[in-house]
Chain A
Amino acid sequence: DVRLEESGGGLVKPGGSLRLSCAASGFSLSSFDMNWVRQAPGKGLEWVSSISSRSSFADYADSVKGRFTISRDNAKNLLFLEMDSLRDEDTALYYCATRNFYHSGDYYSLYFESWGLGSLVTVSS
């Protein structure tokens, strides 16, 4: 069974730091570009960051650029999100997700196929 499990969330004060982990089982993480997507309480989904399969490329939403760092350890089947200078508005459930590729003729699409259950980050004084 393909499974992703996030951990490391918790309550932190504004300006603090947290490190989220995402453990993959049932498949090799090295086969996929990986992503973090978050959802504030009662709100919609927001893509946060992505990293290519061999860590050669990483990208971030403007809202977290310069504060969050994505990384991975393919040998240990782990994905990470280092979050610094946390703000109230970073409060959310953070999901890790695989990014898959679909190709049809001249067109393609990328999509998030497998998701973890999420790890809750609460930023509050």
Chain B
Amino acid sequence: DILVTQSPSSLSASVGDRVTITCRASQKIDICLNWYQQKPGTAPKLLIYGASTLQSGVPSRFSGSGFGTEFTLTITNLQPGDFATYFCQQSYNTPETFGQGTKVEIK
């Protein structure tokens, strides 16, 4: 199985901050890396697919980058609605595996 290691597991930030979350895959996965946002009591919401393509309706302050084994989700100008848990997911091979999640909390 491809292991996806996400870091940090949590972070504290303020409204307006820039936040970066990293995912590393245990083998190369080209652009088969997706990002999801989950708020308490709700289903995950797709943010970014194919490593860097913004899902329709997602604000442009969210961006993704990377290729191969290392990937980054960046949130600029953090807004109150962005405090949530973020997961990355690889879809290069089954089983499709998720990172452990990063909880973004208010400082």
Residue numbers of A with Cβ under 8 A of B are 37, 44-47, 50, 59, 61-62, 95, 100, 102, 104, 107-113, 115-118
Q: Which of A62, A109, A113 contacts B55 (CB 8 A)?
A: A113
Count contacts on B: residues with CB < 8 A to the other chain.
Answer: 27
Closest CB in chain B relative to A6 CB, distance in Å? 10
When distances are taken between beta carbons in the complex, the residues of chain A under 8 Å from B42 are 117
Would B32 and A110 count as touching, CB distance under 8 A?
Answer: yes
When distances are taken between beta carbons in the complex, the residues of chain A under 8 Å from B36 are 45, 112
When distances are taken between beta carbons in the complex, the residues of chain B under 8 Å from A111 are 34, 46, 49-50, 89, 91
Would A109 and B50 count as touching, CB distance under 8 A?
Answer: yes
Would B34 and A44 count as touching, CB distance under 8 A?
Answer: no
Q: Which residue of the partner chain A has the closest CB to B55?
A: A113
Instruction: Pull 8 A–B residue pairs with CB atoms less than 8 Å apart, ordered by A.
Output: A47-B95, A62-B95, A108-B50, A110-B96, A112-B46, A113-B46, A113-B55, A117-B43
Q: Which of B44, B49, B51, B94 contacts A45 (CB 8 A)?
A: B44
Closest CB in chain B relative to A43 CB, distance in Å? 9
The docked-state distance in angstroms from the alpha carbon of A13 to that of B34 is: 36
When distances are taken between beta carbons in the complex, the residues of chain B under 8 Å from A50 are 94
Q: Which residue of the partner chain B has the closest CB to A103?
A: B50
Closest CB in chain A relative to B65 CB, distance in Å? 14
Would A45 and B32 count as touching, CB distance under 8 A?
Answer: no
Q: Which residue of the partner chain B has the closest CB to A59?
A: B94
Known: A107-B31, A107-B50. A45 touches B87 (CB 8 A): yes
Would B50 and A44 count as touching, CB distance under 8 A?
Answer: no
Would B43 and A118 count as touching, CB distance under 8 A?
Answer: yes
Known: A47-B98, A118-B43. A112 touches B87 (CB 8 A): no
